[in-house]
Amino acid sequence: MGAHRPRPPRALRSGAIVSALFWISAGLLAYAQAGYALVVGALARLKPRPGGGAVGAPTRAALVIAAHDEEAVIERRVRNALDLDWPREMLRVVVACDGCTDATAERARAAGADLVLDLPRGGKVRAQDAAVEATAAELIAFSDANAVWELDALKRLAAAFTDPEVGYACGRVTFTNEAGTNQEGLYWRYELWLRERESRFASVTAGNGAIYAVRRAAYLKVDPIMGHDLSLPFNLVKRGWRAVYVPGARATEKMVPSVEGEFARKRRMMGHTWPIVVRGGLVDPRGYPPRYALLVASHRVLRYATPFLHAALLIASLRRPWALASQLTLLGAAASGRTRAGLVARYYVLTTASIALGLYDWLRHGTEAGWDPVEEAR
């Protein structure tokens, strides 16, 4: 019989586990926040996805505006839609009023909307579903009630659908902010940079509610609490479509003027995001092409794991004073917020916290399909 090998002391084993936890957490965080950008940037340059050919652009379009108590902005939105560079006889502007208790419907009609639906409160997604069913357009575009599109935006979105493989296209939304205290602009520019590279390499992993369009043949009804921004791109990719980003299709929205207000908005958004992650199919790899699976794992799954990776890193840093000090410095800068760097740190910390708190809210209270407008963003 061979000599008995002594087991390493328990302290050494626990130290190895803590060390592995530290380096794995730190590595994944570094990849999620910076490394992924290098990877997707290189892939988009070296291995761009070829186009799928060309067909004629859709000609009959509908612009759907889902609204709940948006009387303050709905007239502006409808008039902006009617001014778009698109043949008037080929465009149908549809306002889907989701249980409105104010004058949204009346003002939308007065502004010239082609169709105004007075619907019971069922949430934004069900209002959008009803609007899609009410029109026979080949191309269905969607917009928030507080968004303003550039006049060529619809034409630029439609051009993406000359590729017969494209089922979804989102444009570029710019958030306007006079106060200059919200760091969404810095984050959003980085996010759009990633989105453009994802689109070039495979497909985007998320869109935005201000400006996007779906080919009618590709439109999919999703759970009303899950929303289109995250659920449509990956679901359409699983069904064989491409989801692309069109930076030339531009819109603007007013942003929430404070970091704290943005934190509250993101926390509500994450309450709708976690059902998609946990039971909506996002983390189920079945149906994903390999390229897209890499993007989803890197940009979405790791992004939503960020607060838990930070918690693991903090615990594993207790034996490393330098690492602990760096994390406490980040928290201290976020707490003070006195400099631009401090505001960026606060934005990062609160955004990361909103992911965990959104999960807490969903697990404790569930998520309602309905939504209320953010007054500061009108």
Domain residue ranges in the chain: 61-257
Helix%, strand%, coil% for the chain, nearest 5: 55, 15, 30
Identity of residue 312:
A
Instruction: Please state the CATH superfamily assignment of the domain spanning residues 61-257 in this structure.
Output: Spore Coat Polysaccharide Biosynthesis Protein SpsA; Chain A (3.90.550.10)
What's the CA gap between 192 and 37, in Å, rounded? Answer: 11
What pLDDT shows up at residue 246? 97
Quick one: pLDDT at residue 180?
45
Structure tokens at 98: 């989701």
Pair 243, 169: CB distance under 8 Å: yes
Amino acid at 210: A
pLDDT reported for residue 152: 97
Radius of gyration for the chain, computed over Cα atoms and rounded to the nearest angstrom: 23
> Are the C-beta atoms of 344 and 333 separated by less than 8 Å?
no
Contact 243, 204 (CB under 8 A): yes
Q: Write down the pLDDT at residue 185.
A: 72
CB contact at 8 A, 124 and 98? yes
3 phi and psi angles, rounded to 5 deg: -65, 140
Q: How many residues does the chain have?
A: 378
Distance CA 274, CA 284 (A): 14
Burial class (CB in 10 A: 0-12, 13-18, 19+), 188: middle
Q: Which pLDDT value is given to residue 178?
A: 62
CA 200 vs CA 30, 47, 156, 242: distances in Å:
23, 9, 17, 11
Range 272-275, long-range pairs (CB < 8 A, 24+ positions): 272/225, 272/226, 272/227, 272/367, 273/230, 273/304, 273/358, 274/304, 274/358, 274/359, 274/362, 274/363, 274/367, 275/223, 275/225, 275/226, 275/362, 275/367
Residue 122 zone, left/alpha/beta (φ > 0; ψ -120 to 50; rest): alpha
d(CA 104, CA 82): 17
Exposure on the CB side of residue 185, measured as CA atoms within 13 A: 17
pLDDT at res. 15: 77
Q: 252-264 b/e with 16+ CB inside 10 Å = b? A: bbbbbbebebbbe
* Strand, coil or helix: 112: coil
At 336 the pLDDT is 84
How many CA atoms lie within 13 Å of 108's alpha carbon, on the beta-carbon side?
28
Instruction: Provide the residue-wise pLDDT of the chain in tens; the chain has 378 residues.
Output: 455 566 556 655 677 888 999 999 999 999 999 999 999 999 999 999 987 778 887 889 999 999 999 999 999 999 999 999 999 999 999 999 999 999 999 999 999 999 999 999 999 999 999 999 999 999 999 999 999 999 999 999 999 999 999 999 999 999 887 654 454 577 889 999 999 999 999 999 999 999 999 999 999 999 998 889 999 999 999 999 999 999 999 999 987 767 778 888 899 999 999 999 999 999 999 999 999 999 999 999 999 999 999 999 999 999 889 999 999 999 998 888 778 788 888 889 999 999 999 999 999 988 887 766 665 555
What is the CB neighbour count within 10 angstroms for residue 314?
A: 16
Q: Which structure tokens are listed for 44?
A: 């988009």
